[in-house]
Amino acid sequence: MVGHKDTPVFILVGPQMGENIGACARVMGNFAIPELRIVAPRDGWPNDKAVAMAADSPVLENARLFESVAHAVSDCQVLYASTGTPRNMVKPTLTAREACGRARAEIAAGQRVGVLFGAEKSGLDNADITRADAVLALPVDPEFSSLNLAMACGVIAHEWRAGDPPPGGFKPVEGRASQAELEGLYQHFHDELDRAGFFYPPEKTPLMMQNLINLFARASATEQEVRTMRGVIKALAIGRGKARVVRED
């Protein structure tokens, strides 16, 4: 089988609804897990409802159909079985985070890793779980443990990418203000507040300034934010070219 060797394979066993298959493909695409294998879907394949729900996810376009779990996992050296129902088997039980941590090491060692997901209504058969090296269980509320198939895929896909940095577009567009720029802001505050008679009694001036400085230090202000704040101070102190209207009653 040809596949992406640096990510786990998600294997849906007997999924019932095309919408759920499409939603799984969509969230897998979101988290860059490209390989989806589908075993004996109830409503047949291809499925128009899956296509509509996938929202053009390339994962669905490349999904592969299998008649049995044995064929779907034949190239995998490691299998994790996702289930919300205890099966009383002597197997390690891992959270998604633990399983993904292990999977990273296993994939780095050249092993093919698969994650099995059961049908919406019944989950995985015991025979399928028996194939697995470990059970993957999410910490859901035992009083309401039923999780939608695509949601389960999404949680595990997120954990696979949880250690990655955010997308490049979310990086700060400019750096933090320098200490010199911050000192200029603090002095500007001090001068204008002093002129306005804010520091009273005078002996409390150091403490008041300390509080202001702490506030801005915690804010991790950027250069632009410091410039904006200094413009605010100036506008409040002397106005922005607007004449003051004095009412005479």
DSSP for residue 121: T
- The pLDDT value recorded for residue 87 is 73
Q: How far apart are CA 124 and CA 14, in angstroms?
A: 9
Structure tokens at 2: 């040809």
Query: Of 131, 146, 167, which closes a domain?
Result: 167
- In DSSP notation, 126-153 reads HHHHHH-SEEE-----GGG----HHHHH
Angle value at C-alpha 134, between 129 and 140, nearest 5 degrees? 85
Domain boundary among 147, 167, 187: 167
Q: Output the six-digit token pair for 197.
A: 């008679």
Which residues of the chain fall short of a pLDDT of 50? 1-3, 249
Residues 162 and 211 in one domain: no
Residues sharing a CB contact under 8 Å with residue 157, sequence separation 6 or more, in sequence order:
10, 27, 28, 30, 31, 33
- In one letter, which amino acid is 175? G
Residues paired with residue 39 on neighbouring β-strands, in sequence order: 13, 66
The total number of structural domains in the chain stands at 2
Say whether both 19 and 84 belong to one domain. yes
Question: Is 243 inside a domain boundary?
Answer: no
Q: What local confidence, expressed as pLDDT, does residue 242 receive?
A: 57
174 is a domain residue: no
Residue 240 CB-density burial (10 A; 0-12 exposed, 13-18 middle, 19+ buried): exposed
Please tell me whether residues 131 and 186 are part of one structural domain.
Answer: no
- Does one domain contain both 188 and 163? no
Could you tell me how many residues make up the chain?
Answer: 249
The answer to whether residues 76 and 117 belong to one domain is: yes
Task: Tell me, yes or no, whether 107 and 225 share the same domain.
Answer: no
**Residue 158 contacts by C-beta under 8 Å, 6 or more apart in sequence?**
31
Residue for token pair 């400019």 = 174
Q: Are residues 73 and 129 in the same domain?
A: yes
CATH number of the structural domain spanning residue 55:
3.40.1280.10
What does DSSP say about strands 113-117 and 9-13: parallel, antiparallel, or unpaired?
parallel
Query: Measured over all CA atoms, what is the biggest interatomic distance in the chain, rounded to whole angstroms?
Result: 92
Q: Please tell me the predicted confidence (pLDDT) of residue 25.
A: 98
The SS3 call for residue 240 is coil
Q: What is the dihedral of CA 130, 131, 135, 136, to 10 degrees?
A: -140
Which pTM was predicted? 0.72
The residue type of 186 is Y
Residues 65 and 31 in one domain: yes
H or E segment at 154?
helix 149-161
Show the domain range for 131.
Answer: 9-167
Let me know whether 163 and 49 are in one domain: yes
